[in-house]
Amino acid sequence: MEQRPYGLRVVLEAGLEETEARTRSALAAEGFGILTEIDVKATLKQKIDVDRPGYKILGACNPPLANRALNADEEIGLLLPCNVVVFEHESGTVVEALDPGIMSSVTDAPEMVEIAAEARAKLARAMESLEA
């Protein structure tokens, strides 16, 4: 797993569909459900007739952590759910997850540091499990 400026990243040799399925399973194992799904490839083709490689945005949510975050700062909902992207790239199929640590950097709520750290640890374990 690679730490990026605002996320966590893994690159797999599996195809997009397999990687997406594995990602969903890994997230579920850490208590995340998928609330939203955007098929960027299909949307851009339909809206502006652009062809691009497969790219999905999954809105992952861990309800207990989301509730704690909203109790600490209702406006943190602007950063929920945690986006996880799965896309085709020349190096393989990429999975990236937004680093929840960003939440603690934009609020004065002291409890957000702990909440964001828990969310990051869960996402990191999910991402690391993809490499196993």
Q: How far is CA 81 from the centre of its chain?
A: 8
How far, in Å, CA of 27 to CA of 12, rounded?
16
Domain boundaries, given as residue ranges, for the chain: 2-131
pLDDT at 96: 98
From residue 125, give the alpha-carbon distance in Å to each of 26, 43, 120.
Answer: 8, 30, 9
pLDDT at 104: 86
Beta carbons of 31 and 64 less than 8 angstroms apart: yes
pLDDT at 42: 97
pLDDT at 89: 95
pLDDT at 103: 86
pLDDT at 16: 97
pLDDT at 12: 97
CATH superfamily of 2-131: TT1751-like domain (3.30.310.70)
| Cross-strand pairs, 55 | 87
pLDDT at 132: 82
* DSSP-assigned letters across all residues of 17-64: HHHHHHHHHHHHHTT-EEEEEEEHHHHHHHHH------EEEEEEE-HH
Mean pLDDT per block of 10 residues along the chain (132 residues) reads 93 97 98 98 98 97 97 94 96 96 90 96 97 88
3-state secondary structure of 81: coil
